[in-house]
Chains A and B, each alone.
Chain A
Amino acid sequence: MSNSVLPGDKIAIMEEYEAGNNACADGHIVRATVIGQSEIDKKERVVNVKNNKPISIPEKGDIVIGTVEAVMGSMIAVLINYINSKPVKSQVECICATRSLRKKNVALVKDLVKLKIIGHLNGAIHATIQDPGLGVLFTKCRKCGMDVKPMRDIIKCVECGWTDDRKLSSDFLKSDFLKVRE
């Protein structure tokens, strides 16, 4: 069962359903917070609103592609360019812990990486790079700036032969996200 709702519209009462996604509780009334379709989950006793115009902040479970902005001892900061393959202009950053990866360089500044959002904590967006599909999508040789090719789990420069460590995605150099840099 779904209904078209606007922000502030009453969609349920608290005695029957709890406020889910894009809904808020106002005393004993559950109200929609966005324009969309209200959907009642009778099994979970939750009422959600499907947003007609999603905002450009990633949520838990989203796959994001971004540019590494900073590399710290045990984490990287990534500027998000794409959320679930859709380009975004919000210019928000997420952080990704790299402590558990036994690699010298998980990613370097300006590498393109694919991450999965694991949640929002303490005002920061947290992501993971640990799945096989996640990791570096595109990088260059840190010595000469030329193209690199993957060799098992390391990369080797086609020009100077420099080998380097990265957490490579299974999509490394396969996807068309090279355009992101242009």
Chain B
Amino acid sequence: MGGRETDVVLLDENGIRSDGRKVNETRKVTIKVGVLKNADGSAYIEFGGNKILAGVFGPRDVHPKHMSNPDTGILRVRYHMEPFSVSERKNPAPSRREIEISKVLKEALEPAVILEKFPRTAIDVYLEVLQADGGTRCAALDAASVALADAGIPMRDMVCSCAAGKAADALILDVNNEEDQAGQADMPIGYMPNLGKITLLQLDGVLTTDEFKKCIELGLEGCKQVYEIQKNALREKYFSSGDNN
């Protein structure tokens, strides 16, 4: 059911996936904080084969002025894939997909960021995908959240993100590129772990109601694992003297 025809064995008889992971295992995630000197806040994430750089500027004056809101600040997110981020050169102009992902990431971050404190200003989040390997929007959201915290922007909670999905008729955590292409469903989830609120939920594919519920539970488990890594990355930069609460 669903998915593109492929020779790759997505799940073997032992329940091991094509990249050697178990069904409920995420790829290796590493996050570095404060990697850009000129940005107010920044982060670099390696989420499996994904390599993404996030830079945050602001709060700052809004240009063009008519975009400013006298009651609240505005959040602007630009998700962009480098021409060399995929195997075939990508046109650097913003594609429909990038525009859509920029929009959903903005809407995923907005519930967390306290914009009301900064009326008539803008917070700009720039996300550059240096290398893509499936699940870039989740990895970009993780990096954006860390970069916002690094910029000192007040947030109700961090936003962590991880995808769950279905491949070879099994529910899997953290869908990679092969599983995304040949699998049956992909469900990116954005989550505020302390508030227990989902800020991003998309589904590409078909799931039964029962599978949908299990998929969300699986995805939230992945989000919580990523949240621990985000916290450790921030603590390493800010409280590395050992004072990490």
- Size of interface on A: residues with Cβ below 8 Å to B: 31
User: CA separation between A124 and B155, bound complex, in Å?
Assistant: 22
Contact A120 B61 (CB under 8 A): no
Instruction: List chain A residues, Cβ under 8 A from B154.
Output: 7, 22, 24, 33-34
Contact A52 B152 (CB under 8 A): yes
Which chain A residues (26-76) contact chain B, with CB distance < 8 Å? 26, 31, 33-35, 51-57
Task: Mark the stretch among A88-96, A99-107, A154-162, A165-173 that contacts chain B.
Answer: A88-96
User: CA separation between A26 and B239, bound complex, in Å?
Assistant: 25
Shortest A90–chain B CB gap in Å is: 4
Contact A8 B155 (CB under 8 A): yes
Shortest B40–chain A CB gap in Å is: 8
Task: Mark the stretch among B100-108, B116-124, B129-137 that contacts chain A.
Answer: B116-124
Task: Mark the stretch among B74-82, B170-178, B187-195, B218-226 that contacts chain A.
Answer: B187-195
Contact B152 A35 (CB under 8 A): yes
What DSSP secondary structure best describes chain A's contact surface? loop
A6, A26, A89, A120: the one contacting B195 at CB < 8 Å is A26
User: CA separation between A14 and B192, bound complex, in Å?
Assistant: 21
For the A-B complex, the count of residue pairs with Cβ-Cβ distances under 8 Å equals: 99
What DSSP secondary structure best describes chain B's contact surface? loop
Contact A33 B59 (CB under 8 A): no
Which chain A residues (103-161) contact chain B, with CB distance < 8 Å? 120, 122-124
Contact A89 to B71, CB < 8 A, known contacts A8-B156, A33-B114: no
Which A residues contact B (CB, under 8 angstroms)? Answer: 3-10, 22, 24, 26, 31, 33-35, 51-57, 89-93, 120, 122-124
Provide a sorted-by-A list of 11 A–B residue pairs whose CB atoms are within 8 angstroms: A7-B112, A26-B195, A31-B156, A31-B194, A34-B153, A34-B154, A55-B40, A55-B151, A57-B121, A90-B59, A124-B119
Which B residues contact A (CB, under 8 angstroms)? Answer: 40-41, 58-61, 69-71, 112, 114, 117-121, 149-158, 192-195, 231, 234-235, 238-239, 243-245
